Amino acid sequence: MVVAASLLLAGLAAAARAQDTIPPGGVRVGITYTPGTRPALAVARVAGAPFDSARAVLERDLDLSDQFEILTPPSLAARPGDAPDYRVFRAMGADLLVVLAPAGSEPASVEVQLHDVRRGALVRRTTLTGAEGGAERRWAVHRAADEVVRWVTGRAGIAASRLLFVRTGQIWRVDADGYGLSQVPAAGRPALSPAWAPDGRHMAYTAFVRSGQPLVLQDLVTGDRDIVPSTEFGLNITPEFSRDGAHLAFAHGTEAGTDVYVYDVARQCCVTRLTVGRFSDNLSPTWGPDGRHLAFISTRAGTPQLYWMDADGGSPDVAARFDYGTTGQTNGPSWSPDGQAIAFHRDVNGTPQLFVLDVGMRTVRQLTGTGRNEDPTWAPDGRHVCFVSSRSGAQQLWVLDVETGRLRQLTTSGGARLPAWSPRLAAP
């Protein structure tokens, strides 16, 4: 119940939080490092290994943020709560040191500290919630890792996020570090194209049922679900929420073609048609960060290509330039959270490859070349992209750091497609 209303409120709250997490320029807790090189960071070991599982998660999170050179700390561990010996870490070339230490009198209470090794000072700390070994603690470690990234770079990390994707016609989820793979009960067979609401609690997706393919809105916590009004019949695909959660854009197919529509989630009414491509296909809408523009795929000029338009359907125009008859089919667009890039896939010699459009420069850059690579989705940090790749032999999810080119495999079994990356999540 109250799905739509809570969606909107949570969306607005998320937007407010998001603003809070971006500090004014220059606030970098006094740590300086040469631009273009990554600071070297070590996560200290503690004798008796009281926080070993948290330490392992934290170190991996910081590594996967792609913001640091992770150094292996000396195996000679300090006692819990001891002040770190900065000389040791300075000698191994560390700029930053992260320490897990007891906090307060509660035995289970742990804090994560960030030390500036060169200055020899503790610069930031945050306390972990939850009991050792529990899901809440694991998530608290992810949140702390994201905070460490924010303290150093000004922008939070992505450890406390997860992905929805499709496997054998069902919706699955997996944490950003590959942990917690599990199926999400959903209506329809298959269920396709999951999309996160910005509150991180609801999703929309296409459910294949007897009448057609309605769009379903579902509460991920309670499992409550309902159909987006007016999508009971016919083809209703590729949903995506606006960043404030107030609108849901999608494509509705009829005998006269497929067009982009928008549903007003906030007012729980008013499906408005945005494109008028008679007998052409218009689909895969993706919102610009300010909610005033949408990029989408259209076949109005023949093959599917990337266009954009105003959020009321005005001024449609080509977004990624193409040569008629030579540029391959273009699909699966995803507009980055910072608005500066749109990732998509485009056929190169009959095989889809990832590309990214620089929104300001209007230039297009190819990101992949091995196997099939398709359906990109941006991480909330705007620098990592998850996509489907066949490079391992089967279709699996991979994560690419667009800035460094570092690539890692996220899922390893069972096939995967149509991933959607969540916003940062407050709780597991």
- Restricting to residues 53-82, which ones interact with other proteins according to CB under 8 A? none
Q: Contact between 190 and other proteins (CB under 8 A)?
A: yes
Strands 330-335 and 317-318: unpaired
284 touching other proteins, by CB under 8 A: yes
Residue 248 Cβ vs other proteins, minimum distance, rounded to whole Å: 12
In the chain, how many H helices and how many E strands?
Answer: 4, 30
Nearer to other proteins, 10 or 235 (CB): 235
Shortest distance, position 86 Cβ to other proteins, whole Å: 53
Per CB under 8 A, contacts with other proteins among 354-393 are: 374-375
Q: Label each residue of 68-121 as H, E or C.
A: CEEECCCCCCECCCCCCCHHHHHHCCCCEEEEEEECCCCCCCEEEEEEECCCCE
User: Cis omega (within 30 of 0) on the bond before 107?
Assistant: no
If one asks whether residue 242 binds other proteins (CB under 8 A), the answer comes out as no
* Cβ distance to other proteins smaller for residue 68 or 241: 241
Based on the shown chain and the rule CB under 8 A, indicate whether residue 226 belongs to the binding site for other proteins. yes
| Exposed e or buried b per residue across 385-423, where buried means at least 16 C-beta atoms within 10 angstroms of its C-beta | bbbbbbbeeebbbbbbbbeeeeeeebbeeeebbbbbbbb
Closest distance to other proteins from the beta carbon of 263 (Å):
10
Comparing CB distances to other proteins, the nearer of 179 and 279 is 279
Examine residue 273 and tell whether it contacts other proteins (CB under 8 A): yes
CB of 44 to other proteins, least distance (A): 46
Answer for the pair 277, 301: CB distance below 8 angstroms, yes or no: no
Q: Which of 74, 102, 180, 313 binds other proteins (CB under 8 A)?
A: 313
User: Interface with other proteins includes 192 (CB under 8 A)?
Assistant: yes
β partners of residue 283: 297
The token pair at 191 is: 């269920």
Residue type, 206: T
Other CB atoms within 10 A of residue 47 CB: 11
- Told to check if 99 binds other proteins by CB under 8 A, we report no
Among 69, 111, 132, 281, binds other proteins (CB under 8 A): 281
DSSP 24: P
- Our finding on whether 328 is near other proteins (CB under 8 A) is no
Three-state SS for 12?
Answer: helix
Min CB(323)–other proteins separation in Å: 17
Q: How would you list the strands of the sheet with 162-167, edge to edge?
A: 182-184, 170-175, 162-167, 417-421
- Phi, psi angle pair for 298, to nearest 5°: -140, 145
Residue 178 in contact with other proteins, rule: CB under 8 A = no
Q: Is 213 in the site for other proteins (CB under 8 A)?
A: yes
Residue 251 sits in the site that holds other proteins (CB under 8 A)? yes
Region 131-170 residues binding other proteins, contact defined as CB under 8 A: 169
Q: Considering the complex, state which of residue 14 and residue 418 has its C-beta at the smaller distance from other proteins.
A: 418
User: Least CB distance from residue 199 to other proteins, whole Å?
Assistant: 15
Stretch that binds other proteins, among 28-36, 146-154, 206-214, 241-249 (CB under 8 A): 206-214
Q: CB 388 → other proteins: shortest distance, Å?
A: 9
- Give the C-alpha separation, 201 to 46, whole Å: 36
Compute the least distance from the CB of residue 284 to other proteins, in Å.
6
